[in-house]
């Protein structure tokens, strides 16, 4: 199937590894021109040949400066993928009913909601000109806030609401907004020695590998295995493709059946 993405100019945030890196690779394979934004570059990202822009999107004015840098090189922009997200779990947060102090909530919202809002704000004029597409990467924890920091689940729920509301506001000027919602995906957050799952395992006094093996079943994923980042990337490409003009305001779950809703 020709997704009609060849020659499109794409901006992907949080692009250095995991889901973001898979998205970069998928667009390049379709013949798109990709600019990858992240705090730091990686050898894997460099190997893709994508244009790299370094930016911390969680700080004030970081998103605007990043988008200005991208558009200074070429004012065209057809697709924006807001993938930047995640965060860290501070010491003591796992013993706290609110999963952290005010500063932890603020930092998580800045990265998982604010970065998407402000990057979109800066990129929207170019996307309107191109009659382009925005795809935001959420999390199933927005609908099922179990076993994760509350501030992360709440921020992703807010991202869902922002995305749905924005979809209504900009559809009339030709910009389509959609969301992809993964469940447990094979990324550093899950598998990394310093990732969230490793922190939880240490807190519970069990092996990281043991917890990782049990997570799919405990999360209700009927496949019994973690999702591959490439699967998320395929959903992103479809939602941003000009061949899907009626996909507006949708939220596609790629979750191995974890969300038990009709």
Q: What is the pLDDT of residue 96?
A: 81
Q: What is the pLDDT of residue 113?
A: 98
pLDDT in tens, 33-42: 999 999 999 9
Per-residue pLDDT at 148 exceeds 80: no
DSSP class per residue in the chain = ---S-TT-EEEEES-SSHHHHHHHHHHHHTT-EEEEEESS--HHHHHHT-EEEE--TTSTTHHHHHHHHHHHH-S---EEEE--------TTGGGSTTSS-HHHHHHHHIIIIIHHHHHHHHHHHHHHHHT-EEEEE--GGGTS--SS-HHHHHHHHHHHHHHHHHHHHHGGGT-EEEEEEE-SBSSHHHHSTTSHHHHHHHHHTS-HHHHHHHHHHHTT-TTSSPBPHHHHHHHHHHHHSTT-TT--S-EEEESTT-S---
Q: What is the pLDDT of residue 90?
A: 73
pTM: 0.95
Q: How far apart are CA 21 and CA 5, in angstroms?
A: 17
Domains parsed from the chain with CATH numbers: 9-185+228-254 (3.40.50.720), 188-226 (no CATH)
Quick one: pLDDT band at residue 145, thresholds 50, 70, 90?
confident
Q: How far apart are CA 141 and CA 117, in angstroms?
A: 19
C-alpha angle 256-238-154 in degrees, rounded to nearest 5: 55
Q: Which residues are annotated as catalytic?
A: 152
Going edge to edge, which strands form the sheet with 51-54? 51-54, 33-38, 9-13, 79-82, 133-137, 176-182, 251-254
pLDDT in tens, 198-239: 887 787 789 999 888 888 998 899 999 999 999 999 999 999
Q: What is the pLDDT of residue 238?
A: 98
């Amino acid at each position: 199937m020709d997704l009609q993405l060849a020659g499109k100019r794409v901006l992907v945030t949080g692009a250095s590894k995991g889901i973001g890196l898979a998205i970069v690779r998928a667009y390049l394979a379709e013949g798109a021109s990709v600019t990858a934004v992240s705090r730091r570059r990686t050898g894997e990202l460099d190997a893709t040949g994508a244009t790299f822009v370094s930016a911390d999107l969680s700080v004030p004015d970081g998103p605007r400066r990043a988008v200005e840098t991208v558009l200074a090189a070429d004012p065209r922009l057809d697709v924006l993928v807001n993938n930047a997200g995640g965060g860290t779990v501070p010491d003591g947060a796992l013993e706290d009913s609110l999963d952290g102090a005010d500063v932890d909530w603020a930092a998580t919202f800045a990265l998982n909601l604010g970065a998407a809002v402000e990057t979109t704000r800066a990129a929207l004029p170019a996307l309107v000109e191109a009659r382009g597409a925005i795809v935001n990467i959420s999390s199933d924890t927005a609908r099922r806030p179990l076993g994760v920091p509350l501030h992360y689940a709440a921020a992703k729920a807010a991202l869902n609401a922002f995305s749905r509301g924005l979809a209504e506001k900009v559809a009339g000027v030709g910009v389509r907004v959609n969301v992809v919602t993964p469940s447990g995906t094979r990324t550093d957050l899950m598998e990394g020695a310093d990732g969230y799952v490793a922190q939880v395992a240490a807190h519970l006094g069990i092996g990281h590998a043991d917890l990782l093996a049990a997570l799919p079943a405990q999360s209700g994923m009927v496949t019994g295995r973690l999702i591959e980042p490439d699967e998320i990337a395929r959903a992103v490409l479809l939602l941003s493709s000009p061949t899907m003009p009626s996909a507006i305001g949708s939220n596609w779950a790629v979750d191995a059946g974890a969300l038990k809703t009709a």
